[in-house]
Structure 1
Amino acid sequence: MNRSKPDIYKIVGANIKAIREAKVISISDLARQCGMQADNFKELEAGNAELRLSTFVHIKNLLGVSYEQLFHLPDEYER
């Protein structure tokens, strides 16, 4: 079990990627719908880019998921 503090950008990015892939949405399509370049969206999914609140809400709405789903911690982190 990892007791270190989770990197929220990496967690949210990984959750966005997992949900996007589960819904079979291409990174190019989702990036375009968010007004972003695919390369920038890849950085967001990797947790290497800060996410503006307005972009976060837009992605949440496009994916049709809850805030909880996007902030879900991986099992290796203690809650």
Structure 2
Amino acid sequence: MTLAKVTQENVHIFIPLKVAKITELLAKNNNISWKEDLLEFYNSRTYTVLEKEDTKLWYEGASYLYMRLDMKKNG
């Protein structure tokens, strides 16, 4: 049995779950609405990089992505 390869064409399969988990972490730590948290993440550099298969950021867990987002946001 051959395992499917993650490519730029199918990396989008992993993103919704990552976004949901990161948004949940943002909601726990911010005093803004879930919608604002979601928009903040979608407009972040972290999300832009996450969409690119060759960065392998899609492989990282939600906690790592949240810390990366927080570090970028806070300098």
| TM-score tier after normalising by the smaller chain length | 0.3 to 0.5
Higher Rg: 2
Give the structure with the larger helix fraction.
2
- TM-score, length-scaled by structure 1: 0.31
